[in-house]
Amino acid sequence: MLYIVPTPIGNLKDITLRALEVLKEVDGIICEDTRRTGLLLSHFQIKKPLLVLNDYNEATTVPRLIAQLQSSQNLALVSDAGTPLVSDPGYKLVRECLTQGIAVDSLPGPSSILPALTLSGLPPDKFIFLGYLPEKPGHRLELLKKLTLIHESIRVTYIAYVAPHKLMKTLEDMQEVNGDIEVVLAHELTKIHQSVKMETITNWLEVFKKQPPKGEYVLLFNLGAP
């Protein structure tokens, strides 16, 4: 069986008892970064073989993992932080498992999306998760324009992941398309310096001109009532 096992996004106490139980019992653990996963396992005194799966080796690694699973091994798939597959590798492995009739179970657990949403003060009843916005500026602007079309039909809160080196440019693109709207940025969730704040785009840009962003951000916004 393949187990999909969420890992803490910051606070190690957020790992579940069931997740620890699975990690202790499986034959091996599939991860993206052995250093990150190794630190987590060391903290909980778990020793297991680590199998690397990432965007670069997926084509060659998935068949080997399938063979191990077909030989009655139980494997756990983890991410560096949060729930696997959500803007992380693993989708192709899960899809192939289902195609081959290999049992898959997904454990509930940590993810930055829902804590950010519930702390944002934005309407949580309907939301769209955008993952990481497109790399190319033209594609990013095109997507932002399409979101305004969705707004004409339904009011939703949008959630996206943003890397620190792309945050200011993303905010500038949003300001170009949507005006100086208020957006929420969630940072260091579950950690000591957790921050979830709403500001206008202009104010955020002023903040980051003085102190460049560091670490991953969760960006949340909506475009008002239809």
CATH number of the structural domain 113-221? 3.30.950.10
List the domain boundaries for the chain: 2-106, 113-221
What confidence tens digit (pLDDT) does each residue in 140-151 have?
Answer: 999 999 998 888
CATH class of the domain whose range is 2-106: alpha beta
- pLDDT higher than threshold 70 for residue 18: yes
Q: And the tokens for 52?
A: 């690397």
- pLDDT higher than threshold 70 for residue 217: yes
Which among 106, 83, 66 has a CA at the least distance from the CA of 7? 83
What confidence tens digit (pLDDT) does each residue in 115-142 have?
Answer: 999 999 999 999 999 999 999 999 999 9
The pLDDT of residue 153 is: 86
Name the β-bridge partners of 182.
200
- pLDDT higher than threshold 60 for residue 226: no
The pLDDT of residue 225 is: 54
What confidence tens digit (pLDDT) does each residue in 98-108 have?
Answer: 999 999 999 99
Angle at Cα 25 formed by Cα 79 and Cα 11, nearest 5°?
A: 40
Q: What mean pLDDT, rounded, does the chain reach? A: 95
What confidence tens digit (pLDDT) does each residue in 168-216 have?
Answer: 999 999 999 999 999 999 999 999 999 999 999 999 999 999 999 999 9
The pLDDT of residue 151 is: 83
- pLDDT higher than threshold 80 for residue 21: yes
As to burial, measured by CB atoms within 10 angstroms (0-12 exposed, 13-18 middle, 19+ buried), residue 126 is exposed
Cα dist. 11→42, 47, 157 in Å? 15, 21, 26
Q: And the tokens for 8?
A: 């803490």
Run of H or E residues at 200: strand 195-200
The pLDDT of residue 71 is: 97
